[in-house]
Structure 1
Amino acid sequence: MRDHETNGPASPARGGILTRRSLLAAGAVGAAGLLLTAGAKPPQGDWQTRTWDAIVLGAGAAGLGAARTLADAGRSVLVLEARNRIGGRMWTDRTSMSIPIERGAELVHGSTVSTWGLIDQLGLMTHRQTKLLGRLRPETPWIDGFHYESWQFPLGAPSYPNGLPAPTSGETALHWLQRVGITPDNYPIMLAAIEVDTEQFDVLPAKEAAKTIETALKYQGLTGPMPPEEYGDYRVIGGYDQVLQPLVAGIPLVLNAPVHTVDHAPGHVEVHTNRGTYSAKSLVVALPGGVLKHGDVVFNPPLPPEKSNGFQAISYLPVFKGILEFAHPVLPAGHPVPQGWDILTTFSKNPPSNWNASVGTPGFTGEVVVSWMTGGKAQELLDLPESQRFAAALDNLRTATGDQGLQYTKSSTYDWSKDQFARGAYPGPFSRWNANGLYSPVDDTIFWAGMVTSTVAWSRDTGVDAANSVLAALAGR
């Protein structure tokens, strides 16, 4: 299990962190051994005349995971990236605020995922979120998310002498909850939390709510701290993009090269970009599903119908992430929530959730707070002007802290649905649950990674899987 705070001195294996972090502060791109940027002259004599073992489309976690695996196996690999940076929807912004902030992916979800190999390799500091407090409404008490109380029904547990009614096919969570007599003012905190990180209950399948209610009924009568769990969420201090350095180091990489057409035949691809054409024996497509759905890349000949139909079935989850910097910690003295808090959620608010994005950062005396919501409620925020989004986020934080005079000094947000190289923050639960067939290779030549993943580790793992399939295909020719 990962330590709550890993900060170098606790372990010889984590020595030299501050020095290493200062070297990495410029970002992982600068560590690339072979990098073609916008101002560089394309190496026409080599990269565009040779036939690579593999070309990878996309320099996000999935694409770099594939490229690293192929390069380590001794295969020649070229990465083509549409943006002027690597990382995709992992985007550490080092200029907008006093400390690095994450416009996209921010958390390491779990203590055993593959990302930890990179974190440990670099000796990076991390902070685990352990002070998670939630309440249904401003007038209700704060409840610790790691206590059994977070599973209790505020108005009393319902009784089902004949067993909890099962959801019916196609039933929404909201309809099922109404049918079994659980009203919003009697939601356990852990049930209300589902809507913050996924679709709202009027869209979400009932089975998701039913599983949580089953657990809540088992925990009735229990109080106090729950047993420690292996699972947890962690932030990488100093910028999440640091973990990309080992993946990209020494990999031939062309930035500012959006792909518009892929000509393919068994054992050969021609990839056409606005910077020229590149050839390879195989291709790993590690682009967001929204880009493929939109048809931004044309495949010639067209892909099999089951593949293109699979792209069209991908749906993205609206996500609002507002980031506010404050000159001092936001909690006043005497507040019931302890300083160094991690998450404060008031579920009746929109956006409901705030997390502390600066706790654990050495030397920083202010506080950076992320305001968060997903699903239809997030779309309501995205439809507002940015100033009104920030006003809604500040209103929640003022209510949570009890300080109506609280004011931020800097603000930032990003609507990934307006980004032409992403077309959404990440796929919704329906796409993540129904990805069958999306990863099937075409002619043992075109392989797929990413697309409907929602975490950095998952994305990278699909890239590694795709690369291993490429290696098997190349070995068989």
Structure 2
Amino acid sequence: MEGTGDVNHERPRTGRRGFLIGTGATLMAGALTACSTGEKKESSTGGGSDDLDVVVIGGGIAGLAAARHLTDGGKKVVVVEARDRIGGRMFTDRTSMPVPVDLGCEWIHGQDASTWDLVRQLGLKTHQDTVFATREKPGDPWKRTVEEDPRPGYRNFRIVGGYNQLLTPLAEKLSIRLNTVVKRVEYSSTGVTVHADRKGRPVTYKARAVIVAIPVAVLAADTVEFSPPLPPTKVEAFKSVPQESIHKVAMAFDHPVFPEDADLVGEVDVITDDSTPWYLLSPPKGTPGPEGLVFTALIEGEETTRALALSRERRYAEVLDVIRSTMGDRKLQPVKVLEHEWFKDPFARAPYSKYGIPGEDLIYEPTGGSLYWAGIITESVDTSRDSGEEVAGEVLRRLGRK
């Protein structure tokens, strides 16, 4: 769990040779749109929520894992999600490009990640990213090198066909309310009332407890009102969490551009110089569809801030210039371009947050006997899931299992 428990929270190393170890794994989160099979007709008060045990705020993997654990424990649960899809910063776009593109989180880090049981349950294929293609200058033959594991047993994998496939078993038969934006949470030792806006009309959910599973940057922006007000120390802890900078721009071309068998492409200094903020990444090998047409430019650090301050047209031009220079073809022209600006997303407000900070334990402390917190600081998909399940276990112990 994030912030509590015995999970090893060592942050994977970033930088040129470490980007597959850290960059992108904690980016954000999903794109399934309608796993709400438990939907029931709502009452005039908007919730249709009589006799609820728990309301889960947030349909990312932490919220879904919590709801799954509670539902399997015999509790009556509803998940309220502001977006028109589940997954949060796990966002697989399946319609814009010839192949699925993960605009949020992308890697499973290590062979011990808790998400492997979902991979096996669904029979999904994965690809380990290891092959770097570099060359001294444009026009030279590509040199392929294999990245060595920086830590024993620590490897990095991507799911063929998109990360958000993992959400299916978690969301199955859950009662999920999409397009439902929480405005106010009233809580006491005896229960909670959640006030929200659903497509322009007020809805209300009453329950014995609530689990808040939304990003810390959203909480720090005070977009959700709590009554009584949260302790000042907790609010200050929200606001003190630094937000990391990273951005993806995917481009599709009308002919194969990316070198065969490579996972990462760049000039030599992309691999050896930590001052270089750019990477070019292909879809995982085995992805159905044309190969070499689509790939993603990753920008991180201060360069992200600079790039996002540009107009979209100028940003795309700079990305294309990097691709043209790296591939050695000044005539390359994309037929499609795709990005998601997480800093402008009102339900994310950042790609991901810095982990292992002072005050982290305070963030996860339950409040008022009925208000719980899960997945607030997202380090990776598996620790977010672990967070949701562990907090759900705390709630089950308080409410009692059926």
Shorter-chain TM range is 0.7 to 0.9
Partner Cα separation in structure 2 for residue 417 and residue 106 of structure 1: 18
Within the candidate set 192, 214, 225, 1:269 is matched to 192
Q: In 2, distance between residues paired with 1:430 and 1:404? A: 43
Q: In the alignment, what sits opposite 1:415?
A: 341
Structure 1 residues 104-128: Cα deviation after superposition (integer angstroms, max 9, x where no partner): 1122222221111111111112211
Question: What secondary structure is seen at the aligned counterpart in 2 of 1:396?
Answer: helix
Please say if residues 50 and 206 of structure 2, whose CA atoms lie closer than 8 Å, have aligned partners that are also in contact.
yes
1:444/1:139 CA distance change after superposition, 3 Å: farther
Paired amino acid for 1:292: L
Retained in 2: the 8 A contact 1:291–1:421?
A: yes
2:116 is the counterpart of 1:146: no
Deviations 1:395-442 (A, max 9, x none): 2222222222222221111111111111111113575x7522111111
Structure 1 unaligned blocks of 5 or more: 1-26, 148-225, 332-337
Q: 1:79 to 1:399 in 2, by over 3 A?
A: same
Equivalent residue in structure 1 for 2:261, among 340, 344, 360:
340
Over residues 138-193 of structure 1, what are the superposed CA-to-partner deviations in whole Å (9 max), with x where a residue is unaligned?
8999683625xxxxxxxxxxxxxxxxxxxxxxxxxxxxxxxxxxxxxxxxxxxxxx
Match of 1:233 among 149, 153, 156: 156
In structure 2, how many angstroms separate the alpha carbons of the residues matched to 1:460 and 1:256? 22
Q: Which residue of 1 aligns with 2:37?
A: 33
CA gap of 1:137–1:389, structure 2 versus 1, over 3 A, is: farther
Establish whether residue 371 from structure 1 lines up as the match of residue 375 from structure 2: no
3-state DSSP class of the match of 2:360?
A: coil
User: Percent of counterpart pairs with the same letter?
Assistant: 37
SS in 2 for 1:235: strand
Contact 2:52 2:206 in 1 (8 A): yes
Structure 2 residue 237 is the aligned partner of structure 1 residue 310:
yes
Amino acid of the residue matched to residue 364 of structure 1?
P
Q: How does 1:86-235 map to 2 (within 5 A)?
A: 86-133=86-133, 144=145, 146=147, 229-235=152-158
Q: What's 2:384 paired with?
A: 459
Deviations 1:333-353 (A, max 9, x none): xxxxx6220012443686511
- Within 2, Cα distance between the matches of 1:452 and 1:52? 27
- Aligned residue for 1:193? none
- Evaluate the alpha carbon distance shift between residue 253 and residue 54 of structure 1 in structure 2; reply closer, same or farther with a 3 A threshold: same
Q: State the Cα distance separating 1:227 from its structure 2 match.
A: 9.2
Task: Quote the residue 1:394 is aligned against.
Answer: 320
Secondary structure, aligned partner of 2:364:
coil
Is contact 1:327–1:365 with CA below 8 Å preserved after alignment? no
> Compared with structure 1, are the counterparts of its residues 114 and 288 closer, same or farther at alpha carbon in structure 2 (3 Å cutoff)?
same
Q: Tell me by how many angstroms 1:133 deviates.
A: 4.6
Letter of the structure 1 residue corresponding to residue 310 of structure 2? L
Task: Measure the CA separation in 2 of the matches of 1:412 and 1:364.
Answer: 17
Q: Is 1:291 aligned to residue 253 of structure 2?
A: no
* Rg (Cα) greater in structure: 1
Q: Which runs of 5+ in 2 are unaligned?
A: 1-30
Q: Amino acid of the residue matched to residue 121 of structure 1?
A: Q
CA distance in 2, matches of 1:402, 1:466: 51
Contact residue 35 and residue 176 of structure 2 kept, 8 A: no
- Asked if structure 2 preserves the Cα contact closer than 8 Å seen for 1:28 and 1:248, the reply is no
Mean Cα deviation higher: 364-373 or 57-66: 364-373
Residue range with higher mean Cα deviation, 291-300 or 455-464: 455-464
| Stretch deviating more after TM superposition (437-446 or 63-72) | 437-446
* Equivalent-residue separation in structure 2 for 1:35 and 1:97 (angstroms): 31
Q: How does 1:252-263 map to 2 (within 5 A)?
A: 252-263=175-186
- Give the letter aligned to residue 437 of structure 1: L
Q: Provide the rounded CA distance (Å) in 1 between the counterparts of 2:135 and 2:228.
A: 55
How far does residue 92 in structure 1 lie from its aligned partner after superposition?
1.2
Closer/same/farther in 2, CA of residues 227 and 318 from structure 1, 3 Å limit: closer
- Cα shift at 1:99: 1.5
The answer to whether the 8 Å contact 1:328/1:365 transfers is: no
Report the counterpart of residue 60 of structure 2 in structure 1. Answer: 60
Cα distance in structure 2, aligned partners of 1:343 and 1:454: 23
Maintained 8 Å contact 1:351/1:396: no
- SS at structure 2 position matched to 1:436: helix
- 2-structure distance, mates of 1:372, 1:108: 17
Corresponding residue of 1:84: 84
Amino acid at match of 1:72: D
Query: Normalization by structure 2: what TM-score?
Result: 0.82
Higher fraction of helix = 1
